[in-house]
Amino acid sequence: MRAIITATELAHELTGSNPPVLLDVRWQLSLARAAGAPAFDGRAAHAAGHIPGAVFVDLDRELAAPPGANGRHPLPDVAEFGAAMRRAGVSSSRPVVVYDGGQGWAAARAWWLLRWTGHPDVRVLDGGLPSWEGELSTDVPAGAEGDFTPVPGAVGRVDADGAAELARTGVLLDARAGERYRGEVEPIDPVGGHIPGAVSAPTTENVGPDGRFLPAAELQDRFKALGVRADTEVGVYCGSGVSGAHEVLALAVAGIPAALYVGSWSEWSADPSRPVAVGADPQ
């Protein structure tokens, strides 16, 4: 199954006999609240204009549980996630296409959750909303409720101990910016640095200037240079399981299965008993 879809392909599929359910997951990692400024409002952005028929999905409320010991974006309660997806019209018998404002992180989080809970056909709009050349709508979608029932475990997921093991026995990729990996800056979490043994692999390097993924062959070469081989077990983490999902998506485009450490650095760094490495060296 392909993991991404172009805007041209989406426009064609929307006119077909079984058009995809569209989910708008516009979201931004924002430090504005720390400075007292209002955070980005994805629901307002959706109301101002969305691909016709798209239903808004709130990443913080529907694709994650409240922040806590398991990180800033822990896994949502599976039953609540299923109810949210059914409200959005998701059914197992219809394909799903997810998009965001262009960065791809939020859309990838929704893609990964739907894949992890067993949806058989979900793709991300490559390049997000900026790639869409059709008209936008301000209408409130009125689609029928879906019948999707989530069954967790369909794709790879690891916890903190599993991530530590992968860093020793396979390849654990850190999808954050290089300066956060090295521990030079840490704007969000209490401690800077990375999981010992993890390899720096910023997810921003998986896309071109237009936000679209690099061709599969180029992604394969990139991950090979980072130590990924045909028989390598691969895991990914980031700050809180959002940009890491985008790296898992890039790996899927390259034909490489990978597990996501959902708690990521926000969970790992909150536990003072877990080791922290700094600098460019994985160890």
Catalytic sites, residue numbers? 238
Report the distance separating Cα 91 and Cα 174, nearest Å: 33
C-beta atoms surrounding 110 within 10 Å: 27
Strands of the sheet with 4-5, listed across from one edge: 4-5, 122-125, 96-99, 21-24, 55-56
Give per-residue burial for 224-262: e unless 16+ CB within 10 Å, then b: eeeebeeebbbbbbbbbbbbbbbbbbbbbbbebebbbbb
Angle at which helices 216-225 and 243-253 cross, to 10°: 110
Instruction: Quote the radius of gyration of the chain (alpha carbons, Å).
Output: 18
189 contacts 269 by C-beta, under 8 angstroms: yes
Report the alpha-carbon distance of residue 109 to residue 60 in Å, rounded: 11
Instruction: Please state, in angstroms and as integers, the Cα–Cα distance from residue 56 to each residue in 27, 40, 143, following that order.
Output: 11, 14, 12
Structure tokens that stand for 64 in this block: 């994650």
CA gap 276, 166 in Å, rounded: 15
Query: What's the one-letter identity of residue 194?
Result: H
